[in-house]
Amino acid sequence: MANHKSALKRIRQNEARRTHNRYYAKTMRNAVKKYRQLTDRKEAEAQVPKLYEMVDKLAKRNIIHKNKAGNLKSKISKYLNTLS
């Protein structure tokens, strides 16, 4: 157990940040999964800007790595090109 008041506070802060970050990362993953299940190109095209924005924001805030964000965006656009 922590011996200092500041260490106890740090534990509380870390837990709050962890749950906050996990929520947004999970929300992004669910959005990508829903996007990959779309079959209509028009609907998918409407989703792409929102997904890009979500991924970029998470990368900017260091919730996901910037390379992971780039890979996700690449896969999102690749999937869009497979739709007819």
pLDDT in tens, the chain (84 residues): 778 999 999 999 999 999 999 999 999 999 999 999 999 999 999 999 999 999 999 999 999 999 999 999 999 999 999 997
- pTM, to two decimals: 0.85
Alpha helices in 1-84 (DSSP H): 5-36, 41-60, 66-82
What class, spelled out in words, does domain 5-82 have in CATH? mainly alpha
For residue 15, which phi and psi values (nearest 5 degrees)?
Answer: -65, -45
